[in-house]
Amino acid sequence: MVGGKGESFTAGDWTAAALDAIARGGLAAVAIEPLAKHLGTTKGSFYWHFADRNALVVAALASWEERDTELVIAAIERGDDPTERLRNLLELVFGAVQIGVQPGAGSVELALQANASDPLVSASLGRVTSRRLAYLTRLFAEAGMSPARARGRSLLAYTAFLGHAQLAHATPEALPVGRAFDTHVRHVVEALVRADD
């Protein structure tokens, strides 16, 4: 697109910038003028794609749901063995919580959890949590657990992920680094996948 109003920036560019802002500063960081400055464009570019800030937040939340839930599930579903799919999923999500200068996996999620009282965020978190728990429950059941145990284990795995992400965010020095981190992730995954108590 052309036209001198910053139309060369797509709705996806604005959505990605909004997600980065959420990861760094929570929902309050999604503000049109600072995002325009960050992108090197004007507010006119924003209004070319979105009616208002809420429309951007809705688009950013939809993008987060797709990227961090649906695309992850689609990638995991390519495997055949249910136990391996379960291991691959858990290794992916726990392993992605890296310590470093960039916001790690879970940064958007943690920021959204902190803003769960916002109706838009609450609806998105509700959908994502339900979808993830249902998928985890299915994987645990396909790996041989009873429905009740599969549901309980999925809840344990999901809350462990949220706690892991929070720990990496708030007190990263509590987690090992390098190969020790990889070993830690393997131990967490094996404890969750193990069928016995």
Q: What is the pLDDT of residue 101?
A: 35
pLDDT, tens digit only, all 197 positions of the chain: 333 444 478 999 999 999 999 988 999 999 999 999 999 998 988 999 999 999 999 999 999 999 999 999 999 999 889 999 999 999 999 888 765 434 445 688 889 999 999 999 999 999 999 999 999 999 999 999 999 999 999 999 999 999 988 888 888 888 888 899 889 989 999 999 987 65
pLDDT digits over 72-115, tens only? Answer: 999 999 988 999 999 999 999 988 876 543 444 568 888 999 99
pLDDT digits over 146-158, tens only? Answer: 999 999 999 999 9
The C-alpha angle 141, 77, 190, rounded to 5 degrees, equals 55
Q: Residue with structure tokens 């060369």?
A: 8
If you ran DSSP here, which 8-state letter would residue 96 be given?
Answer: T
Closest to 97 measured CA to CA, from 5, 160, 6, 41: 160
Closest to 17 measured CA to CA, from 51, 59, 48, 54: 59
